[in-house]
Amino acid sequence: MATVFKAAEKAVAKSNATSKTKDKRVNKQRVMLLSSRGITFRHRHLLTDLEGFLPHAKKDSKLDTKKNLHALNELADLNNCNNAIFFEVRKRQDLYLWMSKTPNGPSVKFHVQNLHTMDELKMTGNCLKGSRHVLSFDKNFDSAPHWSLLKELLAQVFNVPKGSRKSKPFIDHVLAFSIVDNRIWFRNYQIVEKNAENTPGFTTLDKGDVSLIEIGPRFCLTTIRIFEGSFGGPTVFENPEFVHPNFIRSSIRKDKLKKYQDRQGSMESRKLRLKDAEGQENELSNKRVFE
């Protein structure tokens, strides 16, 4: 009887050991963060801010090429990541953000505008490093199919899995994604519960209320194109309202050139008017009388 009891005790201990070592996580998302050569300090600070509130992200070294982006799928596989965020910088001033589900896609290319990092803003909000966050999406994400696709992609990339590496079991901030003027606006807020210490005139009616304090960073994403594959492939959606920044700078230079041409033309016309106003010379003109 004792031997049977010992055998049963060993079997129970073995089953408990296997249940402890078994990974019960369902969401196993990991994100690879990297940038191209020629990145500026503001873009680098934004990359550091993203790494700060994405504890499941892994930062990689800069990519030397801007043409063969399919190599990012291999890098993500080597880093054991199934998502990728790539900062592509053009002319040291234009920032394009690639977001992809590696290795099969889909992927999207954004143009980043209105960029303000946490060092620039110096907001009063704060959160624990490595803590998890709540994702908040605008109701306009359900208005069109491409917005629904972007909502799912953003949710899988920015959602911190429970029990992931470097994450802490706390939820103390909110990532808000809003659609205004056909663009995605990003904000990061701290969740603060009202109490007598942080709320002047606190009453019992305010107990349990929650307020939001912005932390930063903040930026705006303009969708350029959505691809079926990872970093390429057939085009699923193309934004017809997107205007390339090179065209904008070219139009500004042309406007300045037009102002200069108009000014030169007005000066020439003034000289002609003055010459016509002098009239023809005769015997009583000043030049003839005082010679």
Task: List pLDDT tens digits, range 189-243.
Answer: 999 887 777 677 777 777 778 889 999 899 999 999 999 999 999 999 999 999 9
CB 136 within 8 A of CB 177: yes
Band (pLDDT 50/70/90 cuts) for residue 1 is very low
CB 161 within 8 A of CB 186: no
Residue 155 sits at the vertex; the CA angle it makes with 140 and 231, to the nearest 5 degrees, is 100
| 285: pLDDT strictly greater than 50 | yes
Q: Tell whether the torsion through CA atoms of 285, 289, 290 and 291 is positive or negative.
A: positive
Between 177 and 207, whose confidence is greater?
Answer: 177
| 19: pLDDT strictly greater than 70 | no
Beta bridge partners of 111: 96, 222
Closest CA to 79 of 136, 112, 30: 30
Is residue 239 exposed (0-12), middle (13-18) or buried (19+ Cβ within 10 Å)?
Answer: middle
Amino acid at 151: K
What pLDDT score does 194 carry?
A: 79
Average pLDDT over residues 62-90: 90
pTM of the model: 0.78
